Amino acid sequence: MTEPKTVDPVGDRSPDKALETLTGALDALRSGAYLTDEEGCIIGVNVRAEQLLARTGAELLGRDAHDMLHRNRHGEPIARAQCPVRQAIFAGRAAQGANEWIERGDGSMLPVSWLATPCDLDERTTATLVIFHPRDAAGPPTALADRPAASLSELERLALLAETTTSLTSTLDVDEALRRLVNLVLPRLADWAVIDLITERDEVWRRAVVHVEDEALVHKEELQGPMPPVPEGSPMPLSRALRGVSSALTGPETYQGPPDSGIAVEQRRLFDVTGMHSAAIAPIRGVREILGAVTLGRSEQPEPFTAADIALLEDIARRAGLALANAGLYQRQRKVAETMQRHLLPQLPSVPGLEMTARYQPAPNASQVGGDWYDAFTLSDGTTALAIGDVVGHDLDAAAGMAQLRNMLRAYAWAQQEPPSKIVEWLDDASLHIAEASMATLVYARMTVSDDGRCEMTWTNAGHPPPLLVTHDGVAEFLTDGHGVLLGIAAHEAPKGRVDATVTLPPGSTVVLYTDGLIEASGHSLDEGLERLRRNAASLAHRPLEPFTDHLLERSRPPQNEDDVALLAIRIPR
């Protein structure tokens, strides 16, 4: 297999990147392993498999695994319907066997034990991991013959490590990664799992204490929470693990003497409450730092942990550390982006005679920042200015362009008492020369409330989805007038230029401004999305504005939406 490429831990989460991550991790296995796609063709292979099969990665990749490898003991091809490995691949289920034969590149037959398990490269792409281990032709591998009865077989250990890799590398959420880690080790390795993590402030937090009870995993929240600091130079097992010094086998007797620190007191309490008679502790290492420690304990299982168990736990902890480091980096990036987004999106003004609320939801796989935006502010003549827009892109460049457009729009609107169409013409011209936004859509409106309570809205639309007007009686219609080309393509050169439209808003009505992420869905037309939004808004007409907005967003946003959504709702009191 060629050397895997370096993978950006917080960037592209495509199937190709997931495949590179997984195949790179498989090189650490001491048994052969290959990945197949849904058609049974080999898409990844580790170095050990190349050695065992006497074939190069180039010879294996893209080939049908069954046709190339699977044989009976006499070296004859096996019918596809009778091959258990192929059946497991196409059924998408885990399976294993101990009496199969593989043809090597030199034509010789290799007797193997094998295990196949499905894995997800992303939400839409499924692969199958096949791990195979040489055995004696007369029976199972000799390495398994003298293992303790209560321990895992070598093949089972390899399968657990492979499952750990695929499971933990497919999430960028720390809590989800911890949940998966606990599910992997309980109950097959222990009765108890304890995870201590070191926070960004170098404090220790006991994030999970989980026990197997009647085949269910129960969190003991009373044992979770903040921990005392890690003492320098302490010889106690947990303290050494949290400093990254070493792993250890331990038991309640280790903590029966005078405690050397507060963390030793907590460990003695842990053993007393849980009844663990044997425990194994290993550091969780990130790329450059120690992230925490994982402890496995046995209270019901009678066998004590052994040195072999420590080696397995270290392998698991190493994989968990890389996954947690990636997830932590991703979440820190999202936090920075969230802070930026909060500063870019404005606070709504308090306007007598109007109710107003807004929502922003980022794209599920983006960095919490993008080109969708809304704005509302009071002009010098008392008119309320409203805007909703979408700059092309879903990254920091789009956000920067959005901020420039918003600020220029505010400046033009405040300085010039002109109709919306004229303001947007100036904005369009400026965006072609001094803004970083390449193209954008926009609805800009002026809303006035007269002394007698009459409300009127004048707007222009630059290539944006039309505003939606919902009356108190549940009549919903799109305001399609005032439409023109989007920003960034020299609207002033168009034959008619930009135009304005005006509507009188009845008491109790609601105006909804939104971006296209609320109505666009893969495999569905834009008209379907608009009609879904219209019907949902009409059904919610009697709801107060805040729940109206929340439910409209929840019901209308497509479940597989990959775009940001901004929404601004204005209610005219009755």
| 499-555 residue pLDDT tens | 999 999 999 999 999 999 899 887 788 999 999 999 999 999 999 999 999 999 999
Q: Which two tokens stand for residue 538?
A: 């009409």
**CATH superfamily of domain region 174-337:** GAF domain (3.30.450.40)
* Residues 47-52, mean pLDDT to the nearest whole number: 90
Q: Choose the weakest-confidence range: 38-47, 147-156, 385-394.
A: 147-156
- Which range of 69-78, 156-165, 186-195 scores highest in mean pLDDT? It is 186-195
In which element (H, E) is residue 420 found? helix 420-431
Mean pLDDT of the chain: 84
pLDDT value of position 340: 63
Q: pLDDT digits over 83-110, tens only?
A: 888 888 888 778 887 778 899 998 888 8
The pTM assigned to this predicted structure is 0.51
pLDDT value of position 491: 45
For every residue of 439-476, which 3-state class applies, written as one string? CEEEEEEEEEECCCCCEEEEEEEECCCCCEEECCCCCE
pLDDT value of position 147: 35
Q: Are 52 and 32 in contact (CB under 8 A)?
A: yes
Percent of the chain at pLDDT > 90 equals 45
Q: Are 399 and 564 in contact (CB under 8 A)?
A: no
Does this chain's domain 15-155 share its CATH topology with 174-337?
yes
Please give the Cα distance from 51 to 256 (Å, whole number).
50
Burial pattern 524-541, b for ≥16 Cβ within 10 A else e, equals: eeeeebbebbbebbbebb
Q: Which amino acid is at 188?
A: R
pLDDT value of position 3: 41
- Which range of 154-168, 358-372, 382-396, 449-463 scores highest in mean pLDDT? It is 449-463
- At residue 25, does pLDDT exceed 80? no
At the top level of CATH, which class does the domain 15-155 belong to?
alpha beta
Q: Which two tokens stand for residue 277?
A: 């008679």
- At residue 172, does pLDDT exceed 50? yes
* Residues 174-189, mean pLDDT to the nearest whole number: 90
- At residue 492, does pLDDT exceed 60? no
Q: Are 335 and 367 in contact (CB under 8 A)?
A: no
pLDDT value of position 225: 94
Please give the Cα distance from 519 to 528 (Å, whole number).
8
* Residues 372-383, mean pLDDT to the nearest whole number: 90
Q: What is the third-level CATH fold of 345-571?
A: Phosphatase 2c; domain 1 (3.60.40)
Percent of the chain at pLDDT > 70 equals 84
- At residue 2, does pLDDT exceed 50? no
- Phi first, then psi, for residue 500 (nearest 5°) are -105, 160
User: How do the domains of the chain map onto residue ranges?
Assistant: 15-155, 174-337, 345-571
- Phi first, then psi, for residue 418 (nearest 5°) are -120, 160
pLDDT value of position 394: 56
pLDDT band at 264 (very low <50, low <70, confident <90, very high): very high
pLDDT band at 412 (very low <50, low <70, confident <90, very high): very high
pLDDT value of position 222: 94
pLDDT value of position 562: 67
Q: pLDDT digits over 288-335, tens only?
A: 899 999 999 999 988 999 888 898 999 999 999 988 888 888 777 666
pLDDT value of position 238: 95
Residues in contact with 347: Cβ distance below 8 Å, sequence separation at least 6, in sequence order:
none
Residues β-bridged to residue 361: 565
Number of other residues whose CB lies within 10 A of the CB of residue 248:
20
- Which range of 51-60, 364-373, 384-393, 481-490 scores highest in mean pLDDT? It is 51-60
Q: pLDDT digits over 418-475, tens only?
A: 999 999 998 888 877 665 556 889 999 999 988 787 899 999 999 999 999 999 999 9
Q: Choose the weakest-confidence range: 51-65, 391-405, 463-477, 519-533.
A: 391-405
In which element (H, E) is residue 212 found? strand 204-213
- At residue 120, does pLDDT exceed 80? no
Task: Give 479-482 contacts, CB < 8 A, sequence gap 24+.
Answer: 479/503, 482/420, 482/421
